[in-house]
Amino acid sequence: MAAGDKHLEITLETQVESVNLAEEMCLRVAEAAGFGEDDCYRIGMSVREGVINAFHYGNQERPEKKIHLAVDITSEKLIIRVLDEGTGFTLADVPDPLAEENLLSTSGRGIFLMRAFMDEFDVVTGRTGGAEIVMSKKLPDPSANSSNGQGGQQSNPRQEA
């Protein structure tokens, strides 16, 4: 970890409340990092979907399993990792929710939304053997005029560390 980088890690219970908790925590970090309202919405939604994925598909809603959430702020981007204690999966096996035959499916849109809302997205095998979602968004340029509301208007917390 480079000087000035920040790291936050939390272990969550496999329960519905963890989804809101993770979203709220990451929203605060994103706001402090200077992201604007629209980007905060996208980041918050992506965290929700990542934790829902871990809660439902990874940990199969089993309360003895944990969800591991990590947030890093580097000089370039906000990185979020969501790790479950399931058996893992590969992205190639996830059905395309935009395919005609899947449009009326009642599930399976979480991965799609995270991909759509974040700059980078991947799924790897984590240290637990479960799936680890790794996604990131480039930090807003504090000197640029924001195109999405408040972005760039706040000081960059990296300079405050």
Partner 1 sequence: MALRATYRDAGPVTVVDLSGRITLGDGSALLRKTIRGLLEDQRKKILLNLADVDYIDSSGIGELVSGFTAVKNQGGELKLLQLTKKVRDLLQITKLYTVFDVYSDESAAIRSFG
Strands 66-73, 6-13: pairing kind = antiparallel
Nearest distance in Å: CB 98, partner 1: 5
Look at the block and give the residue holding tokens 């994925």. Answer: 53
Instruction: Give the x/- contact pattern for partner 1 in 79-98, rule: CB under 8 A.
Output: ------------------xx
**Residues paired with residue 136 on neighbouring β-strands, in sequence order:** 79, 120
Asked whether position 101 contacts partner 1 by CB under 8 A, the answer is no
Cβ proximity to partner 1: between 52 and 134 the closer is: 52
Asked whether position 110 contacts partner 1 by CB under 8 A, the answer is yes
Binding site residues, partner 1, CB under 8 A: 16-17, 19-20, 41, 45, 48-49, 52, 55, 97-98, 103-107, 109-110, 112-113, 116
